[in-house]
Amino acid sequence: MFMRPPPAPARRGLSLSRLNSTRRPQLFARNPPLHSFHTSNHRLLTARVEPPLRKRKFSHSQDIHSSNFRRSLATAINDPLQQDGVEMPYKHMQSHVPNNFLQSIPPRLYDIRPFDPTSPLLVRTNDDILPRSRTNLSGIPGGTDEMVSLFDACLQVGKLDRAALVLTRFTDIRALQGHELIELHNQYLRAAIARAFDKPDSKWAQSLHKWYETQIRAQELPQTPETIACMLKVSLLSARGLRLRRLVTRYMDMMPGDALYQVLSMVDILTQQDFGTITSIYQPASDIADEWGLTPDGKEPQSLNAEDETTELSDAKTASDETPEVTPMPQKGGGLKSLRAVLSFFDTIKGRDISQLPLAERREIQAQLEKDCVDAAISRWREEREALNKMGLNTSISKTALNTQLYEWQCALESKLENDFALFDQSEEREKKKQADFDRCLYAPFMSQSNPSRLAAVTIISVLNALSSVIDKGIQLSTLIGIIAKAVEDDIKFLKRQELAALRRPQYKKGVHKSQNGPINPAEAQPAEAQSAEAQPEDQLAADANTESNVIDAATYDIRSWPVLIKTKVGVALLSGLMECAKINVVQEHPESKTLVRQTQPALAHTMVHRKGKRVGLIMPNKFLVDIMKQEPPADFLARHLPMLVEPEPWTKFDQGGFLEYPAQLVRIKHGEKDQRIYTEAAMERGDMEQVCKGLDVLGRTGWRINKPVFDVMLEAWNSGEEIANIPPLNPQIPLPEEPEASDNPLLRRRWLKAVKAVENAKSGLHSERCFMNLQLEIARAFKDQTFYFPHNVDFRGRAYPIPTYLNHMGADHTRGLLRFAEGRELGESGLRWLKIHLANVFGYDKASLKERESFVMDHLDEIYDSATNPLTGKRWWLQAEDSWQCLATCFELKAALESPDPVKYVSHLPVHQDGTCNGLQHYAALGGDMWGAQQVNLEPGDRPADVYSAVAELVKEGIAEDLKEDNIIAKAVDGKITRKVVKQTVMTNVYGVTFSGAKAQVQKQIDALYPNITKETGIPVPVIAAYIATKIFKGLSTMFRGAHDIQYWFGECAGRVCRALTPEQIERIAAGEELSPPKPKKKTGPKPRSTSTNKKYKPAPPEQLLDQFRSTVVWTTPLRMPIVQPYRKSGTRVIPTSIQNLTLQMPERSDPVNRRKQLQAFPPNFIHSLDASHMLLSALECNEVGLSFAAVHDSFWTHASDVDVMNRVLRDCFVRIHSEDVIGRLAAEFEARYKGALYLAKLDRGHPAEEEIHALRKERKLTMKAELLEEYERMRLLNSEDPKEVEKGRSMATPTSIFQDWSTPQPLSSISDIAAVGLGEITNDETTEAAVEDDYESDDGGLSTTEDFDKADLDNEVTESGKIKKVEYNPERTLFESELSGEAKEAIQRSKAKSNLKAAGTKIWLPLTFPEVPKKGDYNVERLRESQYFFS
């Protein structure tokens, strides 16, 4: 037992002169991210009493007096998270697992985990609209999210005075709760202490003590152990003698009871030396030291510098070959040069295989490639400028020297930003601020986290990249500002990540982290929130695990991304600077004198246009800049989108995985969508995302190499400039139509202009496609000797995608043909057979039996050999294939195998595909148990592959035959013209929610291609014919998949009810009067508001105001336990004044009402997507477990030819495992639990039996909608009470709902018209569909409105309702003005209004949110597909 030494005199405080020489604690978190403190568990946010920490045990050999002894968390308690130094997850092992399950063998990674649908993950968010006040005189904004982001940015750049102003304003407006505000104060105190080491100030300690008294204690904020630890640190650094004793005693006395343990556990604030001083002064702390069994010492910390270890690239070379260069497109822009500069590294290692190097060297090379292209771009621009100067030239003599002009832009913008930086402090200190000063006060802390040089380069690169896609039309100002701000934000995050990595790197030496007080385990170097969690007693952790709830509180605010206001101000500041500085040197020939004229013109200009009745700002590039950029797309930032040279990092957090240096997100989320990230992070904390993350890791670990024979042929074809396979020609020969002679008919010239524009668009499209392929071939050429990998992430539905965008296996035919597996496998008999079948599949002969496909290949061996031997000079048989380049790759592989001494021993690297038969319909057939549908999509065993597209085509033909009996003119026009190709795309996309207008466009495209003269022959417009055929396709699908049709209706009804529901929490807030009255800003003196809200939802009539509270989105859990949150909401708008123009921007918030129609119509296809994504990831996990190489393109799965039989078994097993469970029943149970206690607004159809009684009751009582809601909520509470008297009282209450329930009729459908749009094979109404898919208010559509939309909608409706069509004169060239004169437009509008009024009719009542009975399943048994050889083939 260690004895505590006699009390020592109080340690002297550190004088100011010693501050700079004192070593700062290495684990001291100067400015940890604020979001790390917004945990769902508020255990650490109050100073309540905690159980005492367990006594630490030390071996007698440990010298606690030595300098190596350290009082760390790892030794303070027994860490339940670690076993033998390995971090062990624990949370997810406690939820939804039966007791007897833990005693059995652990589940395999590819097994479907137990999931209790009655206890789903629920994220409780604060739906209240955060208060937003005007900007005050100090330039502090009034929005809570903006203030928190500004506060964090001020801490990052050391502007503590500005951070203090933000905290003061938070105190004034009472926007945050006490436990949230104290966390911001703690951050402020940490930053102030950290600055004391760098910039000592004689008054710093006094000011902090004053701040604590006036801003924390006086405001009665709930202090935390962190607060007290910070104040103790201030005292220890500044005071001495009796004052130090008094301060330590005072602050320690503020902690109630055993909360002292938590204070002393703040090892990232208080060092071992501090601990010794405190225990020598404060007796209770000394008792704690006795209980822990340690005697602190006061030795100064020691540190060891890690040794730098460097290695050089191995000189081992593979057999190198001189590969011809890719002939570039005409070089007038900097894009291709940018790419080649990025890839120049590979030229230095030509012929060397990096995969043979040690892992550490490969990771260093990969990190170097990822490291930012910004500096590389600046260097490249500078080099070209210097090269011209050496030749005695300047950039004005040639318009082709874009890079040199970009360097001029860089220098000019950098200089301007340096001047702006110098004005930041002046604007903040100026008493009477102008608009420019207020703007600088907002964006200065954010831009100060970078430097003028990087900001200028990022701005230039972002603008050029954004303009490249819409270069002829210009780009919307709001869009361009968002792109610039996002690029700057990402770049600053990248710099922070690099800075943190640089700080950590010297602290590690051979896996051991040397801290200031001795060696600690690397696992201890964790963020503050992780350490806080580990600092809890073991008993407390166990108790928390046992009582873990499925309800998680979300943070009130989130600063991981900049608010819209901040992004707008930053983007405008940089864009306006670029527009001022960016000039382009133009050299033109004078039209008369023919001399060269040099002129400097602005590169960018701002203009206003009218679109949909709104003035929209556009940024237009100079026409000479357009000419340069048209030649090729820019290619900066490319290194962040290239394949990786090492295996991707495993996914461990939402933003940790994939690339080594550049941050990526696990789930692809659009700007402003927060729900999916909140749910995903909560699921990861519980361990629910393990299978999804591990599945993505499996996909990322698959190694790839370039197929050199295919690449050589492709390169030769490319350099020839000819149109070969899907390579566009270098100079496409598309003749222009002859210009018509002068005529009185203006339509003739209009048609000619339209045809000319179509030719120009076609040429431009081919050129753009060729430019993009140019980039892909350059990347392939650079990586041709390397093994590389594709990191993957998922979209919000769980579908996996490779993150590198330019070259990956999800690309077009030529990119797939270029890729092969890095690892090879011997073919074997089975592999040789599957290689032949694969060749038949990619050729297009995939509807025959497997034996017939083998025979097809053997019958064409001569053509196959010729294709492999003389691909461009022979018969070119491979060009007849549907997938020509993949066919050529297979020809090379098969020829090499057959020519080898033993074909079955040939080591093959070619991926062989197994594709599902319309995979969405396969899932629907399994869900609905449709025997007929299962047969059509190969779930049922058969001798030959079934073809659902041909089956639907036959049903369409049967429908046409019926119409022929009635002498239908359209049936006569299309008789004999229905083929599989006509219906294929519509059948394929119908399951994923294609609209009727979309289906009609698909059919029209096929009709135009197959029968270009059909209108001349029949006199019927193609759109009318397409609408007729699309109707027949939809009808055939609804007949074939009856069970799936019923399930889709059930999906739609459930989503409709959810989107019209109010949760119990919302109803309680409404009852308290909180929900319907958004807080109004207080009247304050100060400047005019910097931004104003124009969201009309804040001023609705009372009924509409209640309807705006519908915020419940559709959420469900996949079989792999990934939560899916549909993001569709009706975002409000906000006017933000800027120096360029006032911008009206959407402000997405979690408190926005849902977009009910989008939610309803998107749910069925999104649910099916989540199922096929689960099937793919589950298959990836099992294939990895059995040792297969695996890749996937959604429903196309790839592996080696020899492993196809094994993969086929895995695919069937995983599909059966998913559908052997009651998927729909589990979803229904999850919905019941997730939305328990909610009320939804239902609508009774006109003529319902209860309608009269409800109207009579309402006439008598005259209650508002809100009053009826609260009354019904109270009635439900009474009926669910355990008190019989309350139950009886509830039964006696008369409400519209009780009247409806007395009739004992089924609950009404939410909206028959909306639900009809989701049914399989149902025809949607064009008007509702267009409303459902309408995007932002600032649409890109423009030009003169025509009546084509009106006419086609009317024709569609008449065709779809009767299957016939009246003789209608159809003229798509007629303008809206002409149709108004004829009265047709007015008639169409009146019909539309009549339909809307009819749909709006009905009685609305509040009903308990329950869900309809799950549709009865059919007779098909999914186990039968195990015997189906064509399920995937």
**Cα of 64 vs its chain's centroid, Å:** 50
The neighbour count for residue 602, using CB atoms within 10 Å, is: 15
pLDDT class for 1080, splitting at 50, 70, 90? very low
Measured distance CA(786)–CA(345) in Å, rounded: 12
Task: Note whether 610 and 528 are within 8 A (CB).
Answer: no
CA-based nearest residue to 753, from 55, 1373, 288: 1373
| Most trustworthy range by pLDDT among 471-480, 488-497, 1184-1193 | 1184-1193
Q: Is the pLDDT of residue 304 over 70?
A: no
Measured distance CA(633)–CA(635) in Å, rounded: 6
How does pLDDT run across 837-896, given as a tens digit for each residue? Answer: 999 999 999 889 999 999 999 999 999 999 999 999 999 999 999 999 999 999 999 999
Overall average pLDDT of the 1417-1431 stretch? 89
More confident residue, 477 or 260: 477
- Work out the burial of residue 713: count CB atoms within 10 Å of its CB; fewer than 13 is exposed, 13-18 middle, 19 or more buried: buried
Overall average pLDDT of the 947-960 stretch? 88
- Residue type (1 letter), 550: N
DSSP string, 503-542: HHGGGEETTEEEETTEEE-GGG---HHHHHHHTS-HHHHH
pLDDT class for 298, splitting at 50, 70, 90? very low
- Work out the burial of residue 711: count CB atoms within 10 Å of its CB; fewer than 13 is exposed, 13-18 middle, 19 or more buried: buried
pLDDT class for 1123, splitting at 50, 70, 90? very high
Tokens of 613: 């009745």
pTM: 0.79
Give me the active site residues, please: 915, 984, 1195
The neighbour count for residue 827, using CB atoms within 10 Å, is: 26
pLDDT class for 782, splitting at 50, 70, 90? confident
Q: Which secondary-structure segment (H or E) carries 457?
A: helix 452-469
CA-based nearest residue to 385, from 621, 631, 585, 577: 585
The neighbour count for residue 201, using CB atoms within 10 Å, is: 13
More confident residue, 55 or 462: 462
HSE value, Cβ hemisphere, 13 Å, CA-based, for 1388: 21
Measured distance CA(539)–CA(258) in Å, rounded: 15
Q: Is the pLDDT of residue 1094 over 60?
A: no
What pLDDT is recorded for position 1396?
Answer: 54
Distances (CA, A) of 732 to 722, 762, 906, 1144: 9, 9, 42, 43
What pLDDT is recorded for position 1390?
Answer: 63
Task: Note whether 232 and 278 are within 8 A (CB).
Answer: yes
Q: Tell me which DSSP letter residue 835 carries.
A: H
Q: Among 144-148, 178-182, 477-481, 1040-1044, where is mean pLDDT lowest?
A: 1040-1044
Beta bridge pairs of residue 552: 123
Beta bridge pairs of residue 1143: 1136
Measured distance CA(766)–CA(757) in Å, rounded: 14
What pLDDT is recorded for position 1180?
Answer: 95
pLDDT class for 1110, splitting at 50, 70, 90? confident
What pLDDT is recorded for position 322?
Answer: 58
The secondary structure of 1122-1190, three-state, reads CEEECCCECCEEEEECCCCCCEEEEECCCCCCECHHHHHHHHHHHHHHHHHHHHHHHHHHHHHHCCCCC
Q: Is the pLDDT of residue 24 over 50?
A: no
Measured distance CA(148)–CA(131) in Å, rounded: 13
Q: Is 485 helix (H, G, I), strand (E, B) or coil?
A: helix
Task: Determine what percent of the chain is predicted with pLDDT higher than 70.
Answer: 72
pLDDT class for 521, splitting at 50, 70, 90? very low
Distances (CA, A) of 819 to 318, 781, 886, 911: 20, 12, 9, 8
Distances (CA, A) of 917 to 363, 613, 940: 41, 46, 12
Overall average pLDDT of the 24-42 stretch? 39
Phi, psi of 1115 (to 5 degrees): -130, 135
Overall average pLDDT of the 116-142 stretch? 79
Measured distance CA(456)–CA(410) in Å, rounded: 6
Q: What is the mean pLDDT of the chain?
A: 76
Residue 1237: which region, alpha, beta or left (left: phi > 0; alpha: psi -120 to 50)?
A: left
What pLDDT is recorded for position 329?
Answer: 57
